[in-house]
Amino acid sequence: MKIGIIGLGKMGSALLRGIVNCGLCCPADIVASDPLLPERDSNPEYCGVRTCKDNSAAIKDADLVILAVKPQAFQSAAASMAHQVKDQLFVSIIAGLSIASLKKRLGPKARIIRVMPNTPVLIQQGVSALAWDSMVSESDLELVKNIFLQLGEVVKVEEKLMDGVTALSGSGPAYVYVLIEALADGGVLAGLPRDLAQQLAMLTVQGAAGMVELGKHPAELKDMVASPAGTTIAGLAALEANGFRSALIEAVRAAAQRAKELDDAY
Ligand SMILES: NC(=O)c1ccc[n+]([C@@H]2O[C@H](COP(=O)([O-])OP(=O)(O)OC[C@H]3O[C@@H](n4cnc5c(N)ncnc54)[C@H](OP(=O)(O)O)[C@@H]3O)[C@@H](O)[C@H]2O)c1
């Protein structure tokens, strides 16, 4: 199978590594295009694949095309390869853009699987949500699922849920980074050295996620740590007084709204 990757930024290059590592196809069968890339037949910086600036060269012989450009760049990327669109399977990780909007630029015959990964795919601990159009076959879906399984967990969703997925798991790592940073700031305020505070904050988030993974409801786990008149309930009361819960709910709502706006602009 031949693969073309359009846009070799953070996500495009993470996918490239996943594809090469799982042995799905060899580097000689992959061409990646990006305006910043040097023209190389075998680029050692990118797993030995061919890199170029010309999008149509990347999709010309491809069976599978991965679209990994920013939403604002899709229109020009699509225009530059329109004459090479045949019966390729397209995988789009572009935030916000619906399958209908992608088809407007790629043509009605394009088979499209829309995927929303998150940045922990860079360390094979991501989660990727897949939605697809009616022209996609079971084998297309299995193929793409197997690529993203190299980079973490995979869930299948209806396309109408994609804005919510984008806002929660796509954007979510950024919220957790702010959480870790703020916890560490609190630790420093309580007298801890910065390094120790950050390490404790990170390990606390990691450990707490592991406890949730065991299957108990987060509220039950929270109640288990909050003893009467103890330190944790004092901290929890301060969180409630400062709108911690509603800030997170509003963050997800705002991001979902923004994802919708990105598509409306098309
Ligand atoms: N990062 C995330 O957490 C995340 C999560 C889920 C989905 N996504 C989505 O994944 C996509 C890529 O995100 P990213 O974080 O990997 O962005 P990125 O690092 O900026 O990568 C995008 C790459 O595409 C290149 N590009 C721009 N215009 C192009 C064109 N016309 N043809 C070919 N390549 C072009 C860019 O080059 P220039 O630098 O020259 O513009 C850049 O190297 C976005 O749509 C984003 O919404 C990102």
Question: Rounded mean pLDDT of the chain?
Answer: 95
Closest approach atom of ligand 1 to CA 80: 31
pLDDT digits (tens, 9 = 90+) for 171-181: 999 999 999 99
Phi-psi label, residue 215: left if phi above 0, alpha if psi -120 to 50, beta otherwise: left
Task: Using most ligand atoms within 8 A of CB, pick from 69, 97, 177 the residue to mutate for ligand 1.
Answer: 69
Closest residue to atom 26 of ligand 1, CA basis? 7
Distance (angstroms) between ligand 1 centre and the Cα of 13 equals: 10
Closest residue to atom 44 of ligand 1, CA basis? 70
Contact between 80 and 53 (Cβ < 8 Å): no
**pLDDT at res. 129:** 98
Q: How far is CA 122 from CA 71, 117, 148, 188, 195, in A?
A: 20, 10, 11, 29, 24
Domains of the chain by residue range? 3-162, 172-263
**pLDDT at res. 167:** 97
CA gyration radius, the chain: 21
C-alpha span between 179 and 81 (Å, rounded) = 41
Show the ligand 1 pocket: residues with CB < 6 angstroms: 6-12, 33-36, 55, 68-71, 73, 76-77, 93-95, 116-119, 170
Q: Mutual orientation of helices 194-213 and 172-189 as an angle, nearest 10°? A: 130
CATH topology of domain 172-263: ProC C-terminal domain-like fold (1.10.3730)
DSSP code string of 194-218:
HHHHHHHHHHHHHHHHHHHHTT--H
Task: Using most ligand atoms within 8 A of CB, pick from 70, 84, 116, 175 the residue to mutate for ligand 1.
Answer: 70
Closest approach atom of ligand 1 to CA 34: 34
Lowest mean pLDDT among 9-23, 29-43, 110-124, 225-239: 9-23
Contact between 151 and 128 (Cβ < 8 Å): yes
**CATH number for domain 3-162, candidates 3.40.50.300, 3.40.50.720, 3.90.1150.10, 3.10.20.30:** 3.40.50.720
